[in-house]
Chain A
Amino acid sequence: MRDLERELRELSSAIMVPPTPDLAGAAHIRLGATRPAASWPRRPVVLALVVAIVLVAGLAVSPARTAILRFFGIGAVQIEFVDRLPAVEPSVPLALGNKIDPSKAPFPILRSDLLGDPDAVYARGEVVTLLYGSPDRLRLLVTEIGHSVLAPELAKKIVAATTNTRFVDIPGSTGPGIWIEGAPHIVVLADAPPRLVGNTLLWVQEGRTLRIEGAAELDDALRIAKSMR
């Protein structure tokens, strides 16, 4: 009588399986090998080695498949590097949720001594936004995302591979922050239409994902980040 279990194990090695696509990517491995534990490189990172096709599930971005060159997460934000940005309405109004009294935020929000009180505070679930300026004449947005909800689609950034992106050290941050500048990228928050945005700094601090949008230079964004407490 044949040993069926042995036959099945032998069959396993005969099954043709395509080569594993490099999902981690050589760039990731190089970064992992060269990053000191306490300090992250302050240089642009080339982020375009992996071609993985995924569906942009559950979010109001183009339903067509998007070629994702690389992905990773900073706190509650998923960052995807794509070959080209999906089509987005050029001027989507800010959809920040309901205007709230800061003391009624779903978690204690961090504030910046440097910026002072925001002109308005909005909340959409666990996403709290401090607005400086007005929705029509926006100066700066500071978004704080609570970590009690970590749905994959809570927040997403879609970045073209050509966008300048670098890891940065931020005191008090858990892990590195990331600075995205140059070409516009797209931010997608749950239940809000995707929106083209400019320079953004992202990091994780005290159990929140923090995001500054609108700072002209990295140094400005870093000064604000350091003042958040």
Chain B
Amino acid sequence: MGRPLEETELVARARHGDAAAFEELVRMHQGIAFRTAYLVTGSAEDAEEAVTSGFLKAYRAIGRFRRGKPFRPWLLAIVMNEARNRRRSSARREHLALRAAEERRPGDAAPSPEAAILEDERRRALLDAVGRLPEEQRLAVVCRFFLDLREAETADVLGVRKGTVKSRLSRGLERIRKELPDDA
């Protein structure tokens, strides 16, 4: 059996119509693609639709993908766009949920019940504050902190300059700080 194909080779093959190569790319990136779409839509169903549709569009558009550029942000930009469209067109407003405290750190010593409640309240408030941010700032926060993308990747996914990412993050964080004082 040969070595696993490098991403650039898979992309090159997919550009020439090799469906199997594209399927491999789907497999490599479906996890972060689905997480991206879910964090934007808040709905598993919408996220699945967005990712499927995004992959289809990416396959069709892969001829326009610029060689030498990183593939992941290009793909996530398409998925992100699909997810945003679904969020806008959906009548539902789903809210992200948090895991129970005991699920989050199975290996750690359990915090006292009071501390766990306070921690959960703080996290819930933080998540709600992110949800209330204007879309541009919210998506920048999602990319940088929830998807752990680098600044350059975030810029590619959002289709803006790195400086724009910085300013959106800065304004977003400032807004959250105002809403949530340290002792909140």
Binding site for B on A (CB under 8 A): 1-2, 4-5, 7-9, 11-18, 20-25, 28-29, 31-33, 35, 37, 52-55, 57, 68, 71-75, 78, 147, 150-152, 174-176, 204
* 5 additional contacts (CB under 8 A) given A15-B127, A73-B56: A15-B39, A24-B23, A73-B19, A152-B56, A204-B17
B98 touches A55 (CB 8 A): no
> B99: shortest Cβ distance to chain A, in Å?
5
> B181: shortest Cβ distance to chain A, in Å?
9
A12→B99 CA distance, assembly (Å): 11
Q: List 20 A-B contacts (CB under 8 A).
A: A7-B122, A8-B145, A12-B146, A14-B104, A15-B96, A15-B146, A16-B97, A21-B34, A21-B51, A23-B26, A23-B27, A23-B34, A24-B27, A28-B26, A31-B20, A52-B52, A57-B53, A73-B17, A73-B60, A152-B57
Q: Mark B45-86, 1 if CB is under 8 A from A, else 0.
A: 101110111011101110100000000000000000000000
B96 touches A16 (CB 8 A): yes
> B133: shortest Cβ distance to chain A, in Å?
11
Mostly, the B contact residues are: helix
Binding site for A on B (CB under 8 A): 1-2, 13, 16-20, 22-24, 26-27, 30-31, 34-35, 38-39, 44-45, 47-49, 51-53, 55-57, 59-61, 63, 96-99, 104, 122-123, 126-127, 130, 141, 145-148, 173, 176-177, 182
A215→B61 CA distance, assembly (Å): 31
A35→B20 CA distance, assembly (Å): 9
A210→B163 CA distance, assembly (Å): 47
**Which chain B residues border A78 with CB–CB below 8 Å?**
56, 59-60
A153, closest chain B residue (CB): B60
**Which chain A residues border B30 with CB–CB below 8 Å?**
20-24
> B79: shortest Cβ distance to chain A, in Å?
11
Most buried by B among A9, A13, A23, A71: A23
B38 touches A11 (CB 8 A): no
State which of B27, B52, B147 has its C-beta within 8 Å of the C-beta of A28. Answer: B27
> B51: shortest Cβ distance to chain A, in Å?
6
A14 touches B60 (CB 8 A): no
A28 touches B141 (CB 8 A): no
A9→B1 CA distance, assembly (Å): 40
> B114: shortest Cβ distance to chain A, in Å?
18
> B45: shortest Cβ distance to chain A, in Å?
7
> Known interface pairs A4-B177, A53-B49. Does A17 touch B39 (Cβ–Cβ under 8 Å)?
yes
> A13: shortest Cβ distance to chain B, in Å?
7
A37→B47 CA distance, assembly (Å): 34
A71 touches B97 (CB 8 A): no
> Known interface pairs A8-B130, A24-B30. Does A175 touch B146 (Cβ–Cβ under 8 Å)?
no
**Which chain B residues border A22 with CB–CB below 8 Å?**
30
A19→B5 CA distance, assembly (Å): 26
A180→B47 CA distance, assembly (Å): 31
